[in-house]
A = this chain, B = another copy of it.
């Protein structure tokens, strides 16, 4: 079995695992489970995490130049290893980003808008969960419900930043910083998509002023070929 086949087989199970992971994580955070009540949710998260660990191990085993694959997939390693460190549990959500990343290859042309919208929605939801998890137990925090956390995440990712809800724990602030960086990238992608669209529209506006395409050059080529044939008949 080669690596490409393994990745094809595992694609949908990994998407399913990521969704189940997110559901279990959301359940644990929203219901504010702790102690024995949190065991089922924790167990589901551990099982889906195990699937990602197996996938990483198989990929590493099957990769042809193994060292090169390892060096170019350090992010995947972080995704698999970091959730074990208790204080960084919020970073688990990057597991989902890897799945999104897999479908990114398809999303180049018109689907960028759809992809950005769903990625942004997922990002806002996961960041809200992670910040709620970090901030709820902290004294003096203003983020106490899922509604507050979602409101905070939208205000942050759009870079509006009212300041009515602000994370105060180190963990919450790291999540917030990651969300802000994503907000900037989001702004960049939205703008870039509009820019590409407008530049394209302006290019089409006047046929005579339009950029020359390969199709135009091909018509020139066929005319020159006709010339060559005509001269050939002359030579005969």
Q: How far is the CB of A173 from chain B (nearest CB, A)?
A: 5
Q: Mark A138-159, 1 if CB is under 8 A from B, else 0.
A: 0000000001000100111011
A205 to B211, CA, bound (A): 15
By the criterion CB–CB under 8 Å, are A202 and B208 in contact? Answer: no
Residues A201 and B231 in contact, CB atoms below 8 Å apart: no
Which chain A residues numbered 206 to 236 have a C-beta less than 8 Å away from chain B? 207-217, 219-221, 223-228, 230-235
Whether a CB of chain B sits under 8 angstroms from the CB of A181 is yes
Q: Given A158-B180, A188-B193, A192-B196, 15 other A-B contacts at CB below 8 A?
A: A108-B201, A151-B177, A155-B180, A158-B181, A161-B163, A187-B190, A187-B191, A191-B191, A192-B195, A211-B212, A211-B213, A212-B214, A212-B216, A220-B221, A230-B231
Q: What are 28 contact pairs spanning A and B, CB under 8 A?
A: A108-B205, A112-B198, A147-B173, A155-B180, A156-B160, A158-B159, A158-B181, A158-B184, A160-B160, A161-B163, A162-B162, A184-B186, A185-B190, A188-B191, A191-B192, A191-B195, A192-B199, A196-B202, A200-B202, A208-B213, A208-B214, A209-B213, A214-B216, A220-B224, A223-B228, A228-B230, A231-B234, A234-B235
